[in-house]
A and B are shown apart, each in its own frame.
Chain A
Amino acid sequence: MTWWGRLLGKKRLERQMDSELRFHLAEQIRAYIAQGMSEADARRRAHLEFGGMEGIREECREVRGTKWVEDLFKDLRYAGRTFRNSPVFTAVVVFSLALGIGANTALFSVIEARFLRKLPVENPDQLVYFSWWANGWLPQGDVSGTFGSGANTPFLSPMFDAFRKSGDPLSDVIASGTTTYGASAILDGEAERVSVQLVSGNFFSALGTPAVMGRTFNDNDDRPAATPTAMISHSYWHNRFKADPDVLGKVVVVNGVSLGIIGITPRGFRGIMSQAAEAPNLWMPLSMSQQIANRKAEDWWLHVVGRIQAGTNMDQVRGRLEGVHRALALEASGTVPPIMRLNVSPGSRGIPEGGSDAFFIGLIIAGLVLGFLLLIVCLNVANLLLARAASRQHEILVRRAIGANRFRVIRQLLTESVLLALIGGVLGSVLAYWGKDAFGLLPGLGEEVDLRINLGVLAVTALVSLGTSVVFGLVPAVQATAGRGGLAIGRGVRTFQGSDSRIGRLLLAFQVAMSVVLLAGAVLLIRMQGFWQNVDPGFQTNNLVVFQISPRNLGYEENRIRTLLDQITQNLAAIPGVFSTSISDPFFGTGTASSETQVFFGTANIFVEGGTDSRKVRIRSVSRSFFDTFQVPVLTGRSFASGDYLDDARVAVIDETLARALFGGSNAIGRRIGYSPERSDIEVVAVVKDVRVPGFSRLQHPTVYLPQLRGLARTGQVSIAVRTATNPVPTISAIRKAVAGIDRDIPVEDIKTIHQGIQERLMPVRYVIIAWSSFGATALLLTCIGLFGLMSYFVERHTKEIGIRIALGARRREVVRLVMGRCLFPVSVGLILGLAVSWPVHEIIRQFVYGASLYDPLTFGVVVGVLFAVAGVAGYVPARRASRADPTTALRQE
C-alpha cells in the first residue's frame, strides 16, 4: 500500500489493525483455556500480558509514516480552536502583520516601478551614460542640467558628434536635450505650452524602441534640410488627441515651425533620463535645435548615452574619449580647468535627474515611516505573543503532564505561529495589491507605469513577520518545556521584584519610542497645516490672478518682449474691474535663471558690502507695480521707480527678515549688497513686509526684489498678476482675450487665482499629513494593544502575589498604583527614547516645510499627553481587574 493509500485509507487500516489485535488476544485466550485455565482466568492473563492496547495502536500508527500529517491536521484544528477562543488577540496579530506587509510592499513596489526599474528598451544593461566633472568651472554659453559635477552634466553638440564617430567599443551613441525656454505649440488653432525632447536620428533605433503607430525617426529626419517631423508621446496622444487614430500626418506648430506628426512612442517610454522624469509631449530631431530649441553651438545641453557590449571595461571608453572632450571644451570656451574628468557610468536605469530629488526624498521619508511601522508591527506581535505565553503556560504544563512530549508541544505552538503569519501574509498581499493601485493614483506617481507587486519586498517583509511570529511564538514552549518537564504543574508565587517579562518591557519601550516618532511627526504636520491657515502671507491673497506667458518661444527678442509686456498690461488694465497688473518671474516657480553676472530669479547667496558672511536668498525680478498689485506693504524707503528700469539700475528691495539678518537693528536703506563681497554694488532702497507662500519648499528664504525686467525678458517664462475688485474668476476669459488681442499665438499658461495656487502647493503636504497621521494613529493603536496585553500578562502572572497582598491588608488603590507604576516605567523610557530619535527626523521635515518645530510646548504637550493617556487606559483596565481580585480565589487559583 502506498503512502497516499495509507494516508487516505486511514479508517480501514484502523479497523483492520483493531481486528488483528483482537484476533491475537482471542487466540491467546483460546490457548490458555486449552491449557486448562478457566475462561475468566485465561481472559485476565491474556489481557495482562497484552498490556496497553492504546500504546500498541499508537506504535502501529507510527509505522505507517503518515502520522505527521495527521498530527499536523490535529495541530491546525487545535490552532483554529485557540484562535476562536481569543478572537481579539488573533485579529490584532493578523491585522498588524497584514498592515506591515501590505503597506510596505505596496509603497516599495511603487518606488521600484517609478525610480528603480530599468529603462523599457532593448538590452538596457548595455547602456552607459556620460557625465563629467570640473568643479567650479563656468563655461560660456547656456547650460541646462547641473554643471561642473553631478550625474546629469550636459555636453556640447560637437562632443556628441565626436563620441558618435569614435566607434568601437561603442556600437551606438545617442543624445537628447530639451528646449532652452520650453515650447509653445499651436494645435487646431489653440496655443498651449508643451514639453519637448530633441533626439538624435539614431535615438529610437539604437534603443530598439519601436513606434506604437507610424514610424520612429531615422538619420534622414535629422538632417538640416529635412522636412520637419515630430513624434508624440503615448500620454500626449491620449490626453491631447483623445487617442485619435488619424493623428499621423497632422501638423503641429511649435515655436513657429510646422512639423508633421510621424509616430507615437510606446506607453511608459520616457527617453534616456531616469524613469522619474515625465515623458515629454513631443519628440523631434536634433536638427530642430536652432529653430525650435534656441540652442547655439556653444550651449551645453545634450545628454549622451552609449551602447557597449556587456562586460566592456568602461575605463577603456573613458580613456578614448576624455582627450576629445577636453579639446572640444577648450575650443568652445577658450579655457578649461586643470582637472576635468569624463565619467562613463552604467545607464540601464537612465540618467539620474537632479530635479526630482525632492519628490524622491519624500518617498524615502514615506519608506522610513513604513519601515518604522513594520518594526512596530513586529514588536507588537512579539509583545502579544509573549503576553499570551503567560496565559498558556499552565495549559502547556497540563498537556506535558498528560503525556504530550516536548517536541509535540513545540510543534503545536509553531503551527499556531506559522498559521498566524500565513493568514497575515495572505491578507497583507491583498492589501499590497490594493495599496499599490491606491498609491499609483497619486498624481505623478502611477502615470503610465506598470505597477507590479515587488515579490522581493513582499518576501522580505513576510519573512520578517514570520520570523517574529515564530521566535516569539515559541517562547512559551521554551519556558514551559525546559527543565523539569511535565510534572511541575503548580506555579510558584512570583513577586514584583522578579525579572520575568524583561524582554516584554524592553520591547514595549522600543515600541513606545517608535510610536512617539510617528506620533510627533503626525502632530507636527497637522499643527503645521493649522499654522499655514493662520500664517500671514504678507500680501492680500484675495482677488488676485496669476498666469504665465513664454514669448521667447515664439521668437520675440528682448526689446520686443518689453513692448509686448507693456501692450498686454495696458490691455489688461482696460478690463473692467481690474485694479492693477504687475510682471515678475513665475510666482509659484522654483527654478533658477542666471547669467554669469546676475541672477534673474531663483536662489542665490547674497553678501553685504565688506562682509564675508553670505545669506541664501530668493531672488525675484519684478515690475514697478508688483508691490501695489500684491499689496505688499513697504515698511521703509521707496518702491521701485520707472528710472530703475531704464538700464536695470543696481538697486534692490529686501524683505524685513533679510534686513534683520543682514543689518540687525540698523537702517538698511542705502546699504549695499551683492553676489560676492568684492562686487557688492546693489543699493537697498526699501524694506518690505515678508511674503510667505506655504508649502513644501526649500526656497522659503528671505527675498531680494530686483528691477530686472530686461533680464527677465531674456529668460523663458514671465508671470503676470492681475488684481481685481471682486471675485477674479469671471475675468479669466477676459484676460485670455486681452492676451490674444496682442498675439493670438501666445498661450496663456496655467492661469489661476492665488488661492488655487496655494491649495495646489499644499496638495503634496496633505498627502503626507494624511499618510503620516494614519500611520501614527495605527502605531498608537498597536502600542496601546501591546501595552494592554503586557499588563494583562503581568497581572495574570502575579495574581497570587496580589491576592496575598490584599489578604494581608493592602488597599486596592495601592495595588492599582503598583501595577500602573510597572506599566508607566517602560512607557516613560520609550517616550524619552522616542523624543531623542524624533529630533533628526524633524530636522529633515524642517528642511522641507516652512514653519515647523517639534519643540513648541503645544506639539510637545500633545505628544506626551496623548501617549500617557493611552498608556494609562491600557494599563488601568488590567490594574483595576487585579485590584478587584478576591484574595481567596487568587490563592486557590493555583
Chain B
Amino acid sequence: MTVPQPDLPQGTLDMLILKVVAAGPIHGYAIAQRILQISKDVLQVRQGTLYPALHRLENRKLLQAEWKATDTGREAKVYRLTKAGRNQLETEAETWKHLRTAIELIMKTAEGESA
C-alpha cells in the first residue's frame, strides 16, 4: 500500500457514516467495510475514529441504535437513521456539493492561469 491514507475531517466522516446508514440499518463493522469497499480501499476508517463518531451521532440523536441478533447469531448494535439524521445528511450533502464545486473550480482555474 503506497497510497497514503487520507485523514478524514470529522465532519466529512460524520457525513459518510450518515450516508451509509441511510441505506438501511447496519452495525459498526459493516459501516467500516462499506466505506472501504465503496471507496475502493482508499478510505479505511479506524475503530478509534469510527466508534466515537457513531456514539457522537447517536448522542446528537442523528442515529438511533438497537441491539439485534445477526445472521451469525451474535448480538450486534445496529444503527438506523432518524428523521433528524436524514435532514442533517441532506444539508451536509448540499453543503458538500457546493464546497466541492468551489474547490474544483479554484484548483482548475488557478492551474490554468499559472500555466
B108 adjacent to chain A (CB < 8 Å): no
Contacts of B51 in A (CB 8 A): 17, 20-21, 24, 56, 59-60
A31 — nearest CB in chain B belongs to which residue?
A: B33
List B contacts of A24 (CB < 8 A). Answer: 28-29, 32, 47, 51
Our pick among B47, B52, B59 for the contact of A50 (Cβ within 8 Å) is B47
User: Closest chain A residue to B61 by CB distance?
Assistant: A1
Known contacts A1-B59, A20-B28, A63-B52; A26 and B47 CB within 8 A of each other: no
A56 near B47: Cβ-Cβ < 8 Å: yes
Within 8 A of B (CB), among A1-44: 1, 6, 16-17, 19-21, 23-24, 26-28, 30-31
| B95 on the A face (CB < 8 A) | no
CB-based contact B59/A64 at 8 Å: yes
Check if B72 sits within 8 Å of A30, measured CB to CB.
Answer: yes
Task: Verify B29–A28 contact, CB threshold 8 A.
Answer: yes
Binds A, one of B74-82, B85-93, B97-105: B74-82
Listed by A's residue number, 30 A-B pairs whose Cβ atoms lie within 8 Å are A6-B59, A17-B51, A17-B55, A19-B77, A20-B76, A20-B77, A23-B28, A23-B74, A23-B77, A24-B32, A24-B47, A24-B51, A27-B30, A28-B29, A30-B72, A31-B33, A50-B47, A51-B48, A52-B48, A56-B51, A56-B52, A59-B51, A60-B51, A60-B55, A62-B52, A63-B55, A63-B56, A63-B59, A64-B55, A65-B59
Q: How many contacting A-B pairs (Cβ < 8 A)?
A: 57
CA–CA, A11 to B52, complex, Å?
Answer: 17
A20-B76, A21-B47, A31-B33 given; 5 more Cβ-contact pairs under 8 Å: A16-B67, A23-B28, A51-B48, A60-B52, A63-B52
Q: Which of A6, A27, A64 contacts B29 (CB 8 A)?
A: A27
A189 in the interface (beta carbon within 8 A): no
B64 to chain A, nearest CB (A): 10
Bound-state CA distance A19–B30 (Å) is 15
CB distance from A348 to the nearest CB of B (A): 56
Residue B46 interfacial (CB < 8 Å): yes
A55 to nearest B CB, angstroms?
6
User: Are the CB atoms of A55 and B48 closer together than 8 Å?
Assistant: yes
A21 to B51, CA, bound (A): 8
In the bound assembly, the distance between CA atoms of A50 and B51 in angstroms comes to 12
Expressed in whole angstroms, the minimum distance between the Cβ of A32 and any Cβ of chain B is 12
Residue of A nearest to B44 (CB): A49
Q: Tell whether, in the assembled complex, residue A56 and residue B27 are in contact, meaning their CB atoms are under 8 Å apart.
A: no
Across the interface, B48 reaches (CB within 8 A) one of A6, A27, A56, A65, namely A56
User: Which 9 pairs across A and B sit closest by C-beta, in order of nearness?
Assistant: A27-B29, A59-B52, A63-B55, A24-B29, A56-B48, A63-B56, A20-B77, A63-B52, A60-B52
Bound-state CA distance A202–B84 (Å) is 74
Cβ contacts under 8 Å, A20 to chain B: 28, 51, 76-77
Distance of A67 from chain B, by nearest CB (Å): 12
Residues of A near B58 (CB, < 8 A) are 1
Closest to A28 in B: B29
Q: How far is the CB of A611 from chain B (nearest CB, A)?
A: 95
- What is the CA–CA distance of A794 and B68 in the complex, to the nearest angstrom? 64
* CB-defined contacts of B32 to chain A, threshold 8 Å: 24
Contacts of B72 on A, CB cut-off 8 Å?
A: 30
> Interface size for chain A: under 10, 10 to 19, 20 to 34, or 35 or more residues?
20 to 34
Tell me, rounded to whole Å, the shortest Cβ–Cβ distance linking A18 to chain B: 11
Interface residues of A (CB under 8 A from B): 1, 6, 16-17, 19-21, 23-24, 26-28, 30-31, 50-52, 55-56, 59-60, 62-65
Contacts of A65 in B (CB 8 A): 59
Q: What separation, in Å, do the CA atoms of A533 and B81 have in the docked complex?
A: 93
Q: Residues of A contacting B27 with CB < 8 Å?
A: 23
Q: Is the CB of A51 within 8 A of B52?
A: no
CA distance A230 to B55 in the complex (A): 82
B interface with A by C-beta (< 8 Å): 27-30, 32-33, 46-48, 51-52, 55-56, 58-59, 67, 72, 74-77
**Distance between Cα atoms of A503 and B76 in the complex (Å):** 60
Task: Please measure, in the bound complex, the distance between the C-alpha atom of A27 and the C-alpha atom of B48, giving whole angstroms.
Answer: 16
B59→A51 contact, CB < 8 A:
no
Q: Which of A17, A23, A27, A59 contacts B75 (CB 8 A)?
A: A23
**Which A residue's beta carbon lies closest to that of B50?**
A24
Using Cβ atoms and an 8 Å threshold, which residues of chain A touch B46? 51
Give the complex CA separation of A1 and B72 in angstroms.
28
- Pair A23/B55 contact, Cβ less than 8 Å: no
Query: Bound complex: CA of A60 vs CA of B65, how far in Å?
Result: 15
Identity of the chain B residue whose Cβ is nearest the Cβ of A62 in the assembled complex: B52
Contacts of B76 in A (CB 8 A): 20, 23
Chain B residues with CB under 8 Å of A17's CB are: 51, 55
Distance, CA A16 to CA B56, complexed state (A): 15
State how many angstroms separate the Cβ of B45 from the closest Cβ of chain A. Answer: 11
Task: Give the residues in chain B near A19, CB-CB below 8 Å.
Answer: 75, 77
**Closest Cβ–Cβ distance, residue B111 to chain A (whole Å):** 38
**CA separation between A56 and B32, bound complex, in Å?**
15
Q: Is the CB of A16 within 8 A of B77?
A: yes
| A525 to B56 Cα, complex, angstroms | 70
**CB closest chain-A residue, reference B72:** A30
**In the complex, A56→B75 CA distance in Å?**
20
**A23 near B59 (CB under 8 angstroms)?**
no
CB distance from A103 to the nearest CB of B (A): 50
Residue of B nearest to A55 (CB): B48
- List chain A residues, Cβ under 8 A from B48: 51-52, 55-56, 59
Provide the bound-state CA to CA distance between A62 and B59, in Å: 12
List residues of chain B with CB within 8 A of the CB of A31: 33
Q: Complex Cα distance A6/B58, Å?
A: 12
> Nearest Cβ in chain B — how far from A116, in angstroms?
54
User: In the complex, what's the smallest C-beta–C-beta distance from B95 to chain A, in angstroms?
Assistant: 23
| Shortest distance from the beta carbon of A448 to any chain B beta carbon, whole Å | 61
B residues in contact with A28, CB < 8 Å = 29
Among B46, B47, B58, B77, find the residue whose CB has the most chain A CB atoms closer than 10 A.
Answer: B47
A1–B47 alpha-carbon span in the complex (Å): 22
Smallest Cβ distance from A49 to chain B, in angstroms?
Answer: 8
Question: In the complex, what distance in Å separates the CA atom of A24 from the CA atom of B47?
Answer: 9
Whole-angstrom distance from the CB of B47 to the nearest CB of chain A?
A: 6
Q: Closest chain B residue to A52 by CB distance?
A: B48
